A and B are shown apart, each in its own frame.
Chain A
Amino acid sequence: MEIFLQQIINGLVQGSVYALVALGYTMVYGILGLINFAHGEVVMIGAMLALSSLTVLLGLSVPPLLALLFSIILAMAGCMALGYTIERIAYRPLRHAPRLAPLITAIGVSIVLQNLAMMIWGREYHSFPQLIVNATHSLGGAVINDIQIIIFILALLIMAGLMAVVHRTRLGRAMRAVAENQHAAQLMGVDINRVISLTFMLGSALAAIAGLMVSANYGLAHYYMGFVLGLKAFTAAVLGGIGNLRGAMLGGLLLGLIESLGAGYIGDITGGFFGSNYQDVFAFLVLIVVLVFRPSGLLGERLAERA
């Protein structure tokens, strides 16, 4: 039972990070019908930027919370600029090109970002500096620490904020209009390019925060961290119904739970044949199962089958 509760806690924390990243995929997909393959790398860049800034600031004896705040802002700004640039360079010129073209440029962007990061930050793992005394609390036999609590609550707040932006603001309305019908939105005076750019920037800002959360949670950051994380977050988006914001959040949390419970129990289930080192396989299995049985995802209405 303690194991169960512990895995639930871990799963929800991890899942809330997936949800933040999944939102980035789903927003772009909703508007452009494009999988932004490079999104996972944006998360990684966000984590790296924040980490570097933190290290420098703490070295200058800036108070930890101030350093953290500044680093978050820096990472968000950097990622927003990056997201904007990616869209301008790699996607916008190909908006009317055959489907394959933007997919290939997206892969190209991923590779470039990953290797640039490797050149800048090296191949080694960077450890996340300790900012607060990370106290652990006991919860019915399971433990949860402060960082996990902060991550979970912050993620929920950000998601609530995003929903407010999408449903209550002019930008949100424009985004929904473009997602519904680009041509009609344009006729109604919506500046499509601006909305698309802003969507990329918004998604990238979330990615920056998610990157910071992941590295805080694991205490590590690495140039390769974005790839698998991106893959999983994409799975979360598909699970919830790609293009659907609530779906991305639900899918993220669910995937986190599935993964965590799966890793916790796989040994028992398979009689010790598979161990927790197969954790990464779960996301992939979920992806396949969803695509086979419900390609539109849990909350998706529109059928994904469309050429």
Chain B
Amino acid sequence: MKFNSKSKALVAALVVALLLLPFITDALFGRGWVRIVDFAMLYIMLALGLNIVVGYAGLLDLGYIAFFAVGAYCYALAGSPHLALAFPMMFPDGVHLSFLIVLPLAALLAGGFGVLLGAPTLRLRGDYLAIVTLGFGEIIRIFLNNLNSPVNLTNGPQGISRIDPVSVANVRLSATQNVLGIEFPSVHLYFYLFLAFTALVIFASRRLERSRIGRAWMAIREDEIAASAMGINTRNLKLLAFAMGAMFGGASGALFAGFQGFVSPESFSLMESIMVLCMVVLGGMGNISGVILGGVLLAILPEVLRHIVVPLQQSLFGKTLIDPESLRMLLFGTALIVMMLYRPAGLLPSRVRRRELDSDEVPESIGRNQA
């Protein structure tokens, strides 16, 4: 089934809207919000990566942000003067590898960590993976915080700064660029970069979902014993899902480091892992549009809380009783519970459900070309 003209027009409109989004946001809310949108895109990438692990293969990864951290620090070390401190003889100016080299490197490194962590735990029950990943998230943070001595690898709690900005084809995204008389500020440029990567992640997710591998993942999620009786090597496929999720996380981390120009351990707390998990659960596990919706909602929510809850409390009580940060986490925790109890499939009904309701749809959708 090919796109009909109506859906073609819809897609075109969506693309135009997305391309204009930074300008519209800038005009309506100010440049600070473009930055927020950029971060939202990063979160969506992360959530889509976690969705492969949790949504497709049904593996609960509670330390997902650790892979993000691995990617971010990989980029930070390979693209900043920092290593000059630790190895002045080897790298007198630090290391400054190109973004296009570091990005796959970061993804592979994170994937490698995923394999290291997954191999011993994935043959066990799912709960063990959950707790091991939880521990891993903490351990990574301990290492990041303490590996500043005797060799200063991570610069400890201060983090690594002066990270090279991303530059693509000699265009530095950290500076305002002028194209055809239109000014593109840095945050706009990063938006387009992230948009491209998000599109790539969505594309990869969709293709995986509708493939032999994706079906095997879902079989494992539904019933591991039956899956293995059907000839699926559950351990290898779980490891594959886990490593792929980790790779997506690592790549997002590298983008994050380049965008922010600075990384420190506090960006990679357990709460961040929980937030990404929330995005996946809220939107709908295993459902790409649901996960995107979840990502958008939850990435914007803290900003909304900050801009509404604080002034509201100020005007009602004259002071801030509940800080927006803990209110946000409280909402996340409650959302996890409520969603699991009352709407385990998430806010958006899944593809299969929809297809089941719409019996007219041609079932050959499996071979269909996806945009």
Contact = CB atoms under 8 A, between A and B. Distances in A.
A163 interface: no
Across the A-B interface, give the 4 residue pairs with the lowest CB-CB distance, nearest first: A108-B336, A111-B333, A112-B333, A108-B337
Interface string A265-307: 0000000111101101101100110011001000000001111
Contacts of B277: 104, 107
A287 B62 contact: no
B135 interface: yes
Contacts of B143: 281
A224 B56 CA distance: 32
A104 B60 contact: yes
Interface of A: 34-35, 37, 89-90, 93-94, 97-105, 107-116, 118-119, 227-228, 231, 234-235, 238, 272-275, 277-278, 280-281, 283-284, 287-288, 291-292, 295, 304-307
Contacts, number: 135
Contacts of A228: 138
Given A115-B329, A231-B135, 4 more contacts: A103-B127, A104-B339, A108-B336, A277-B142
Interface in B134-175: 134-136, 138-139, 142-143, 145-146, 150
Contacts of B270: 227
Contacts of A100: 54, 58, 60, 126, 285
B146 to A, nearest CB: 5
B311 interface: no
B274 interface: yes
B131 interface: yes
Interface string B249-271: 00000000000000000000011
B142 to A, nearest CB: 6
B177 to A, nearest CB: 41
A102 B130 CA distance: 12
A99 B339 CA distance: 15
Contacts of B84: none
Nearest to A234: B131
Given A111-B336, A278-B142, A231 B120 contact: no
Given A35-B127, A104-B281, A291-B128, A112 B120 contact: no
B121 interface: yes
Interface of B: 54, 58, 60, 62, 120-121, 123-128, 130-132, 134-136, 138-139, 142-143, 145-146, 150, 223-225, 270-271, 274, 277, 281, 285, 322, 326-327, 329-330, 332-337, 339-341, 344
A47 B224 CA distance: 40
Contact of B138 (A98, A102, A231, A292): A231
A87 to B, nearest CB: 13
A72 B27 CA distance: 59
Given A231-B134, A231-B138, A288-B132, A103 B333 contact: no
B330 A108 contact: no
Contacts of A277: 142, 145-146
Given A35-B130, A103-B130, A284-B135, A278 B146 contact: yes
Contacts of B281: 104
A97 to B, nearest CB: 7
B138 A105 contact: no
A292 B116 CA distance: 11
Nearest to A285: B139
28 contacts: A35-B127, A97-B344, A98-B344, A100-B54, A100-B126, A102-B340, A103-B60, A104-B60, A104-B277, A104-B339, A105-B341, A108-B332, A108-B337, A111-B271, A111-B330, A112-B334, A112-B337, A115-B326, A115-B329, A119-B326, A231-B134, A238-B128, A274-B146, A284-B138, A287-B131, A288-B120, A291-B128, A307-B224
Given A278-B142, A280-B138, A304-B125, A98 B337 contact: no
Given A105-B341, A107-B62, A305 B123 contact: yes
Contacts of A281: 139, 142-143
Contacts of A235: 135
